[in-house]
Amino acid sequence: MRTTNRCVKCGGSKFLDVTPQQTYCDAGGTLREITLTGAAVATGAKGFFGNDEQSIVTVSVEVSVCAACGYAEWWVPPPALDTLKKLAGHPAIRARDGAATATPFRG
């Protein structure tokens, strides 16, 4: 949709583009940036109770939503894509080669 300007689902040509600069208000009334949580990564430090501290890695995403049918396509800008590639292999982020898969199912 991003490159063809056509919805792959219904063929529509009107979109609502949500960029990382746009925010939403969470249940607590705090404005938040739209992000994709990549993974909780150990920092190597110990917390107050001796547990391993973790840092949540998030990346900004852009979303195009078809105004006709609501189908959405997510796009990760290059700097955020580099972050995700570095995290490949983490339990929350699996690298997959579509060309090497004989089935369309993602398992």
| Domain boundaries of the chain, sorted by first residue | 15-89
pLDDT at 39 over 70: no
Which has more pLDDT, 72 or 105? 72
Question: Could you report the per-residue pLDDT of 15-24, keeping only the tens digit for each?
Answer: 998 776 556 6
pLDDT at 103: 58
Cα–Cα nearest to 39, from 96, 95, 94, 92: 92
The residue type of 44 is G
Cα–Cα nearest to 79, from 64, 93, 58: 58
pLDDT at 6: 94
Cα–Cα nearest to 92, from 64, 62, 44, 54: 54
Question: Could you report the per-residue pLDDT of 42-95, keeping only the tens digit for each?
Answer: 666 676 777 776 666 667 778 889 999 999 998 888 887 887 787 777 776 777
pTM metric for this prediction: 0.55
